[in-house]
Structure 1
Amino acid sequence: MKLEALSPLGARFAPRQIGDVTLAEMPDIGAVLVTATVPLSGDLTRLSKTLAIDLPRVHGAMATHQDRSAIWLTPRSWIVTCAPSDEKLLVDNVALAFPDHAVLASPYSDALCWLSLDGAGTEDLLRQGSFLSFSPGGLPVGHAKRTLVAGIPAVVKRLSETAWTIAVERSRAQFFVDWLNSLTHSFGDSQ
């Protein structure tokens, strides 16, 4: 018997418009939380090879390679997104490469709900509930950050000028979507 994961947003969440922004759930993203228990220094290269992606080394940086991305959380932790079927492989590879448990990896997709926001007004929409960046140009394309959006802890990835991916805890996903929907009147009327 194979169980199918349920969306935290109910049966098959349909994409919807909020002003000129399209909101959609992304149930096909797997995630692995990777944490180093000690400073890695030279072992960071070995960890990057183990995960088949060059891990970012500075705040806000995000790396992509084929179907994977790595998001810097702290100097010793990253979220690596991948195909859901690759989660176990990545976790097992880290355990084999670091048998002393200097680096730990755990499946993380069951903890997060991934949403895509795409449209010219996405950044303005997110700014209604969050402080995105000190940079005058906002969060640069190809960067990610952990922040609060509408009081909800989130990982925000800027993929292009108009395309963003947001990860929120599954238990708060419906609240987050409800918050976005509540902006329809104030945000949608201003366009």
Structure 2
Amino acid sequence: MADTATRHSPLAHAAGRLTAATRASGGAVRLAELPFLAQVNVRLDPKGQAADAVGLALGLQLPIEPDTVVHAADRAAIWLGPDEWLVVGPPGSQSGLEDQIRAAAGDEPASVTDVSAQRTTLLVTGPRARDLLAHGCPLDLHPRAFGPGRCAQTTLARAQVVLVARDEPRAGFWLLVRSSFAGYLADWLLDAASECV
């Protein structure tokens, strides 16, 4: 029997509403889901040989400064803790990322876990993106405090998120949110975006 399962992102039902909110704001805020991004959680000694080897294998160094992100090509390494990172890649690349990281770590102690199904990613861009996020986030989001290349595990409208300021100011923000909270957070963003018109 043929496999007829169809994969749906956590916010597939909201895609039209996200697009409509972008239009309604006149481009002040753009909201979109980036579904199915590969997400691999990595834990290892940041001062060990495995960290350098993993960085070389991925083509980007694992950031060691707290709350920073390193981007290279279509991948990003997000600092989650002193010995923990989230490596994000294009949809469908999680198995390859896992294999690369495990091979690079070799016999060094390391934990490599595919957590791609755990979260989805919302993209928030536009000239009023910071204002929109500031309505529900306790962090100081001014570019001096939270500029490009910064990240934080925080809350937005009481939902836990990993907030990432993209490399270029106009690239906006990623909100990595647990799939079970994605609908709630999208509704909150849509409501808050209505004030950005």
Q: Smaller-chain TM-score range?
A: 0.7 to 0.9
Query: SS of 1:115's equivalent?
Result: strand
Determine the structure 1 residue equivalent to 2:10: 8
How far 1:156 moved relative to its partner?
A: 1.1
CA distance in 2, matches of 1:48, 1:2: 38
Alpha carbons of 1:3 and 1:56: their partners in 2 closer, same or farther (altered >3 Å)?
Answer: farther
Determine the structure 2 residue equivalent to 1:75: 82
CA RMSD of aligned residues (A): 2.3
Alpha carbons of 1:93 and 1:41: their partners in 2 closer, same or farther (altered >3 Å)?
Answer: same
Query: Normalized against structure 2, the TM-score is what?
Result: 0.83
Of 114-123 and 175-184, deviating more is: 175-184
Of 112-121 and 43-52, deviating more is: 43-52
1:182 aligns with 2:191: yes
1:154 aligns with 2:161: yes
Percent identity over paired residues: 25
Determine the structure 2 residue equivalent to 1:102: 109
Alignment of 1:18-167 (within 5 A): 19=25, 20-36=28-44, 39-43=45-49, 44-98=51-105, 100=107, 102-133=109-140, 137-159=144-166, 160-162=168-170, 163-167=172-176
Query: SS of 1:110's equivalent?
Result: coil
Checking the alignment, whether the CA contact within 8 Å between 2:130 and 2:141 is kept in structure 1 is no
Query: SS of 1:17's equivalent?
Result: helix
Query: Normalized against structure 1, the TM-score is what?
Result: 0.86
For structure 1, the residue ranges without an aligned partner over 5 or more in a row are none
1:171 aligns with 2:177: no
Alpha carbons of 1:29 and 1:75: their partners in 2 closer, same or farther (altered >3 Å)?
Answer: same
For structure 2, the residue ranges without an aligned partner over 5 or more in a row are none
How many equivalent residue pairs? 186
Alpha carbons of 1:59 and 1:3: their partners in 2 closer, same or farther (altered >3 Å)?
Answer: farther
